Amino acid sequence: MNARAHRSLMLNGPEGKLEALFWDVERNDRNGVPAQAVFAAAVCHPHPLYGGTLQNKVVYRAAKALHGLGLPVLRFNFRGAGLSAGRYDRGRGELDDLRAALDFLAASFPGAPLLVASFSFGAWVGLRAGCGDARVHALIGLGLPVGNMDVSHLSERVKPKLLMSGDKDPYGPKEKWEAIISALPEKSREATQLILVPGADHFFAGHLGAVERAISAWVRARMEALQ
């Protein structure tokens, strides 16, 4: 396989096949043994009932930032989105879809810590599943809709988290974010970085470059801490 090959695939999901795009990394030898990845990353898309798929711009830029650091990156469609089997399950079954994606990464890169990056509805799924999965060592949540969703799971595990929201995002009011962060247990708060992007809306329109740069800088720091 060529270095950093991009390929489409269908994952085995709990309700059938899940459509995915996998950006691979260099393999060590002709037998295809994977290089030891510092992180292997899954990226989750926004709400499927509102057009959210793995092709979303924010999802793409997050994946691009991660792959630019040399990480293998898996984007996938939740059940009922794109070519994925099944039907939307109000965030419940989607948790299992993400776990299936993490199973793929764990099998492909044995022993590598996993990272979950996610946007909007996907951020709720990604953070909830990732907080409770011992294989996941770092979490990125973009545009998490804190205004209308339960985010109590943010305090359940002490894991490094990057949380980004536009300061003009109606689904993530600044005051709500400040209250959430201040209510976290001390160790969770110390492990969490919140970035409110000035002038950005929910979709980070006109600010995707800033999102990509922030992800790169934050993940690079996590990688250096592991090496």
Which CATH number do you get for residue 134? 3.40.50.1820
Sheet holding 73-76, edge to edge: 6-13, 16-23, 73-76, 40-44, 114-119, 136-142, 161-166, 192-197
Q: What is the pLDDT of residue 121?
A: 98
**Residues 99-125 pLDDT 10s:** 999 999 999 999 999 999 999 999 999
Is 165:159 a contact under the CB 8 Å cutoff? no
Residue 58 included in any domain: yes
Q: Is the pLDDT of residue 157 over 90?
A: no
- What mean pLDDT is predicted for residues 85-101? 98
Q: Is the pLDDT of residue 4 over 60?
A: no
Residue 1 included in any domain: no
Ramachandran angles phi, psi of 115, nearest 5°: -130, 135
What is the reported pTM?
Answer: 0.95
Among 148-162, 177-191, 194-208, which is the least confidently predicted range?
Answer: 148-162
> Higher model confidence: residue 157 or residue 164?
164
Please tell me the distance from the alpha carbon of residue 24 to that of residue 22, in angstroms, as a whole number: 6
E strand spans, the chain? 6-13, 16-23, 40-44, 73-76, 114-119, 136-142, 161-166, 192-197
Residues 6 or more apart whose CB falls under 8 angstroms from that of 21 comprise: 6, 7, 8, 9, 54, 74, 75, 76
> Higher model confidence: residue 36 or residue 149?
149
Q: What is the pLDDT of residue 30?
A: 55
Q: What is the pLDDT of residue 5?
A: 84
Can you give the residue range of the structural domain that contains 69?
A: 6-226
Residues 6 or more apart whose CB falls under 8 angstroms from that of 32 comprise: 1
Residue 113 included in any domain: yes
Residue 106 included in any domain: yes
Average pLDDT, the chain: 94
| Strands 114-119 and 136-142, sheet pairing | parallel
Ramachandran angles phi, psi of 150, nearest 5°: -75, 125
Domains held by the chain: number: 1
Query: 119 - beta bridge partners?
Result: 142
Residue 222 included in any domain: yes
Q: For residue 184, which of 127, 115, 113 has the smallest C-alpha distance?
A: 127
**Residues 20-47 pLDDT 10s:** 999 999 766 555 555 567 999 999 999 9
Q: What is the pLDDT of residue 227?
A: 76
Please tell me the distance from the alpha carbon of residue 12 to that of residue 16, in angstroms, as a whole number: 6
